[in-house]
Structure 1
Amino acid sequence: MYVALFESSHGAVLQPLDESGLATGEARDVGASGLAAAVAELEAGHPRWVWDDTSRWYPRLLAEGVRIERCVDLRLSHAILRNSALTASSTLARSAASSWDRAAPETVELTADAALFDFDGPAQLNSAEDTLAEFALQRAAIAGAADPARLGLLLAAESAGALVAAEILYAGLPWREDVHDAILARHLGPRPAPGVRPAKLQAVLERLREALDAPTLNPDSPPELLKALARAGLIVRSTRSWELKKLTHPSIEPLLEYKKLARLLSANGWHWLDTNVRHGRFHPEYVPGGVVTGRWASKGGGGALQLPKQIRSAVVADPGWKLVVADASQLEPRILAALSGDRGMAEAGAAGDLYAGIVASGAVATRDQAKVAMLGAMYGATTGESGRLMPALTRAYPRAIGLVETAARAGEKGEIVSTRLGRSSPPPGPVWRTSQSEAYGEGATDADVSRARGQARSWGRFTRNFVVQGSAAEWALCWMATLRGTLDELGDGAWLTDSPHLVFFMHDEVVVHCPADAAASVEAAVRESAAQAGRLLFGAAPVTFPLTVAVVDDYGQAK
């Protein structure tokens, strides 16, 4: 059963629908005050709720003590169906842009690497007619798709992910402000007055200034720092740590230390603590589908997708509770092995450490080489150590390397590629295509040709990684969706925050907050959900997705 939910001038309207999106009964206007009770009543029948945007509706239901099992997030689903190669001939895909379309990132035009990151679009309110018409279009697109089952799984997982994101935002990650303050004091010194550097940061700065003979240096200004380094005979193109580590000079050690401490202060210092932690909880604000590959993004200043190791000890379980922290080991290489059906690579990962398995196969000599070579294969690094190792990796795992190489060649030609479940990459924009066309026309210069080739290779790197990163994001969605259902069963009817529940997610890692006596059951659920995600995506493929799981009192103990 489907039930559409949309706003009216009086509050909210509920409309039963059939599989194709046609109304099966009278619409029911429940007003604003009666929404939660009406949804709770109908939820007993296990409907799939149909609404424009989970982030608009679900938080208000959670605030009134109502959880739902399933939904169709029309805006997230529209973005997939609009661009998927599986639905390219559908009416939805061929229709003119509407309020359901998110604003595409301008960075996709020429900067392929930037296209792997997040973008936001308008979240406009849609009328009842818009909502019902959109749902009908989506159902027709799925029915006529080249592979409806794959696409249906993707849309269900995407919508379930939106529910997870809303529940994590509601529940929050347990956070000890006193522990966080003590961590900052240990690394930076006591909390300073506004506008004053902490004592330990200032002491490192004085050492840096002395080493560079620059008594007024402000290292927070990259141009000023580059000039000071140049005066000391250190010529670098940027102030990034990886480039600075190549240099030998008395200033490098304090400079790297300063950058590390300054990053802690700016990203998770006292201002972050004051702004983002309320009543012992940090409430991560995720944006499901906020990256073109399907990965989540985050909004606000909280940094929901990154918690530095320095502050993880501030994430402390409530008394009588535990944190179950799980991360998928070497997820993207395993996804590549499953996508390509490369049995040799699958066997390399069967014992646990895929990189060690690659060494054991004789493809490369060391684990570090295996990691560098695999990352190069997935991200398109063709020079240096990675480029040198690629021929050996290709000989050992021809199907896996062949898959990403094929995806890269497609991107270089301006073609799209798709993930396991059918999310497709955006095509390059008109500026890219014009640049490619003009490079081979009359009057083209060597510089035009070189620039066009560079742009083609850049887009090829994007599509090479798109198929792997996007499929890994689908695995993670299936993992969380399955785990969410099992945790609800373990809760046996208890409210979300009174039972085991997800409190954090970061690409291939989840954190569950649970009563201590349920920790063993939660750990088993986390592991089985990962195995189930693998089966959902790849059936009986001989690829394992092992987890590292820790049951801890604070997040810092898990690493």
Structure 2
Amino acid sequence: MDIVLAPVESGATLITLGPDLRPTTSSTVGWPDLGPAVEEYERQSPRWIWAETAALYPRLLRAGTTVGRCFDLRLCHVIVRNATATATSELARSATGPWDVPVVPLDDQGPTLLDDSEPIGAFSADLVLAEYRLVDEAVRQATDPGRLRMLLAAESAGALVAAEMKFRGLPWRTDVHDQQLTELLGPRPRQGGRPPTLEDLAVRIRELLEAPGLNPDSPVELLRALRANGIEATTTRKWELEKFSHPVIDPLLRYKKLSRLLAANGWVWMDSWVRDGRFHPDYVPGGVVTGRWATSGGGALQLPKQIRRAVMADPGCKLVVADAAQLEPRVLAAMSRDERMAEASRGLDLYQGLVDAGIVDNRAHAKVAMLGALYGATSGEAGQLMPRLMRAYPKATQWVEDAARSGERGEVVSTWLGRSSPRPPQSWQQVQRRASEVDAGQLDERLARRRARDWGRFTRNFVVQGTAAEWALCWMANLRHRLRTLARAGEMDPHLVFFLHDEVIVHTPGSLAPAVEAAIHQAADEAGRLLFGSFPVEFAVKTVTVDNYGEAK
């Protein structure tokens, strides 16, 4: 059963749809009664059709209401509008409109659900229903509607997971965080000042560079001081500074590392993002063109190892941390139907599988060769190892080679379920056209070839990284469902609290930790079957149950 849910001034309109997408019932529910009304409908396992999960679902969560399934129209619109499988649909050919930009969110940090003074979403029930019909018709006409439907369901499920993780938050001990910062940086300074450790390093850097007024946080000043001391660096990046032998390099690199920690996850970050013992990040599902997630605040996708001990389970609870091993190479083996590479995927370490198969002589070379295949390395050690990989796994390497060649021609490529890559920008097209003109010179031709290869590397990785993101969405969606069935009356329910591309964390009562670990593995197996059927690729997942995230790595 599909139910359209759209906000109005006094509450929300609920429209039940029949198989032909025509309304069968319609009612308006006030904000105070919306949560109970949704819970009543949830007994029938409906699918909620709404404009954007991030705009509306937080209101339900604050009322203590969760839903099992939804169809996030904005996320699905973006996928369908840009997919080659639906390129001839009315939706794909329509002019840019309000569905192509994020819906104005209903403030989930302001008034409660019972306060009807909150702003409402921009889309009425009629507009939501009209857009849903357009999307549905486009999918029906798609070249492979089954895969596309799976992608839209997974993307929508991911939106539910993102909203729930933000609402419930990642358990965070500010006292442990403060202790870690103090150990690394010294006591918290007054506003605007440097912590003692950073200040001592700054003094040392000035002395070694004979620059008393140097601000080491200024790249311009720092480069000037480095060059004055014979260090001809062109940037202040770590990989370049490490090339030089000078007494200042070690304290400078240490200063930069600690300075990044202070800026990204220091005391100000803690004050801003941790509330009531929880870190509440803003995840952005589909925030990257490949379908990977991004964040619009808090930096949840970049939690440095130095502070992970602060992610600590509540008393009586545990964190179950799960990491999908070498996800992208396994996805490549499954997409390309490369049986030999699938054999190497058996077990937790695919790279060691390449060594055991006699493709390369050690695990380090296996990793270099595989990453070279995924990212298009043609020189150095990766370039030397690529011929071995191509002979051993011709189907897998040909798959990414074909994607690269398509990109070099300016063509669009798609993931396994049908998310399509963007076309090259106008500047790329102009460079290619210039190289084909009668008076084009060697510089024009070299530039065109370089730009073509660059875009080919992008499309090469797009098909693998995007499909890996699809597997991860299916994994999380299935795991979310399994965790809901594990909940016990009177206990905190096990729930997802963190996601990073191929890693998840579940916060659970300690007594349920073994069941959660089993659910994680079962969900990974199911995600593989959903996407790739019976093809024998093993999606190995490592799980560990810990008290804090720092113990997991």
TM-score (norm 2): 0.94
Structure 1 counterpart of 2:202 = 205
* Superposition deviation, residue 274 in structure 1: 0.8
**1:419 alignment partner, SS class:** coil
Partner Cα distance (1:242, 1:399) in 2 = 35
Structure 2 counterpart of 1:458 = 454
**1:441 alignment partner, SS class:** coil
Partner Cα distance (1:124, 1:41) in 2 = 23
Structure 1 counterpart of 2:116 = none
Structure 1 counterpart of 2:239 = 242
- More displaced stretch, 431-440 vs 536-545: 431-440
Structure 2 counterpart of 1:405 = 401
Structure 2 counterpart of 1:179 = 176
Structure 2 counterpart of 1:514 = 508
Q: For 1:98-142, what per-residue CA distance to the aligned partner results, in whole angstroms no more than 9, with x for missing partners?
A: 111138xxxxxxxxxxxxxxxxxxx97122221111111111111
Structure 1 counterpart of 2:35 = 36
Structure 2 counterpart of 1:295 = 292
Structure 1 counterpart of 2:88 = 89
Does the 8 Å CA contact 1:19/1:139 hold for their aligned counterparts? no
Determine if the alignment matches structure 1 residue 215 to structure 2 residue 192.
Answer: no
* Superposition deviation, residue 492 in structure 1: 4.3
Q: Percent identity?
A: 58
Partner Cα distance (2:20, 2:84) in 1 = 22
Q: For 1:332-364, what per-residue CA distance to the aligned partner results, in whole angstroms no more than 9, with x for missing partners?
A: 111111111112221122132111121222222
CA, structure 1 residues 72+228, in 2 after alignment: closer, same or farther (shift >3 Å)?
same
Determine if the alignment matches structure 1 residue 144 to structure 2 residue 138.
Answer: no
Partner Cα distance (1:549, 1:200) in 2 = 36
Q: For 1:424-472, what per-residue CA distance to the aligned partner results, in whole angstroms no more than 9, with x for missing partners?
A: 1111133322221122112223222222222211111110100000000
Partner Cα distance (2:449, 2:121) in 1 = 40
Q: For 1:259-278, what per-residue CA distance to the aligned partner results, in whole angstroms no more than 9, with x for missing partners?
A: 11111111101101111111
Does the 8 Å CA contact 1:6/1:128 hold for their aligned counterparts? yes
**1:233 alignment partner, SS class:** coil
Partner Cα distance (2:490, 2:452) in 1 = 54
Determine if the alignment matches structure 1 residue 360 to structure 2 residue 377.
Answer: no
**1:157 equivalent among 151, 154, 157:** 154
**1:550 equivalent among 537, 544, 547:** 544
Structure 1 counterpart of 2:412 = 416
- Segments of 5+ residues of structure 1 without an aligned counterpart are 104-122
**1:246 alignment partner, SS class:** coil
Structure 1 counterpart of 2:433 = 437
* Superposition deviation, residue 193 in structure 1: 1.0
Structure 2 counterpart of 1:115 = none
Q: For 1:133-186, what per-residue CA distance to the aligned partner results, in whole angstroms no more than 9, with x for missing partners?
A: 111111111111111111111111100000000100111011001000000000
- Segments of 5+ residues of structure 2 without an aligned counterpart are 103-119
CA, structure 1 residues 444+101, in 2 after alignment: closer, same or farther (shift >3 Å)?
same
Determine if the alignment matches structure 1 residue 351 to structure 2 residue 351.
Answer: no
**1:194 equivalent among 171, 191, 194:** 191
Structure 1 counterpart of 2:114 = none
**1:220 alignment partner, SS class:** coil
Partner Cα distance (2:412, 2:272) in 1 = 41
Structure 1 counterpart of 2:48 = 49
**2:5 alignment partner, SS class:** strand
Structure 2 counterpart of 1:502 = 496
The runs of at least 4 aligned residues of structure 1 exceeding 3 Å deviation read 492-495
Partner Cα distance (1:266, 1:287) in 2 = 22
Determine if the alignment matches structure 1 residue 529 to structure 2 residue 523.
Answer: yes
Amino acid at match of 1:263: R
Partner Cα distance (2:346, 2:15) in 1 = 49
Structure 2 counterpart of 1:133 = 130
Q: For 1:16-64, what per-residue CA distance to the aligned partner results, in whole angstroms no more than 9, with x for missing partners?
A: 1124422123x21113332222211111111100000001111000000
- More displaced stretch, 200-209 vs 421-430: 200-209
**2:217 alignment partner, SS class:** coil
Q: For 1:396-426, what per-residue CA distance to the aligned partner results, in whole angstroms no more than 9, with x for missing partners?
A: 2111111111101100111111111111111
Partner Cα distance (2:225, 2:392) in 1 = 48
Does the 8 Å CA contact 1:502/1:511 hold for their aligned counterparts? yes
Structure 1 counterpart of 2:105 = none
Q: For 1:200-226, what per-residue CA distance to the aligned partner results, in whole angstroms no more than 9, with x for missing partners?
A: 111222222233232322221112222
**2:92 alignment partner, SS class:** helix
**2:332 alignment partner, SS class:** helix
Determine if the alignment matches structure 1 residue 382 to structure 2 residue 378.
Answer: yes
Structure 1 counterpart of 2:106 = none
Amino acid at match of 2:427: V
Partner Cα distance (2:33, 2:90) in 1 = 36
Amino acid at match of 2:43: A
Does the 8 Å CA contact 2:347/2:538 hold for their aligned counterparts? no
Partner Cα distance (1:102, 1:436) in 2 = 31
Does the 8 Å CA contact 1:284/1:504 hold for their aligned counterparts? no
Q: For 1:299-327, what per-residue CA distance to the aligned partner results, in whole angstroms no more than 9, with x for missing partners?
A: 12x10211100000001100000000001
Alignment of 1:333-348 (within 5 A): 333-348=329-344
* Superposition deviation, residue 493 in structure 1: 6.2
CA, structure 1 residues 529+494, in 2 after alignment: closer, same or farther (shift >3 Å)?
farther
**1:488 equivalent among 473, 476, 484:** 484
- More displaced stretch, 62-71 vs 239-248: 239-248
Structure 2 counterpart of 1:13 = 13
Amino acid at match of 2:316: G
Partner Cα distance (2:94, 2:481) in 1 = 36
- More displaced stretch, 433-442 vs 466-475: 433-442
Q: Note the aligned Cα RMSD (angstroms).
A: 1.5
Partner Cα distance (1:19, 1:217) in 2 = 70
Does the 8 Å CA contact 1:21/1:139 hold for their aligned counterparts? no
Partner Cα distance (2:240, 2:70) in 1 = 47
Alignment of 1:311-322 (within 5 A): 311-322=307-318
Does the 8 Å CA contact 1:333/1:374 hold for their aligned counterparts? yes
Does the 8 Å CA contact 2:325/2:539 hold for their aligned counterparts? yes
Partner Cα distance (1:424, 1:381) in 2 = 23
Partner Cα distance (1:167, 1:9) in 2 = 25
- More displaced stretch, 420-429 vs 165-174: 420-429
**1:34 alignment partner, SS class:** helix
Partner Cα distance (2:552, 2:153) in 1 = 31
**2:23 alignment partner, SS class:** coil
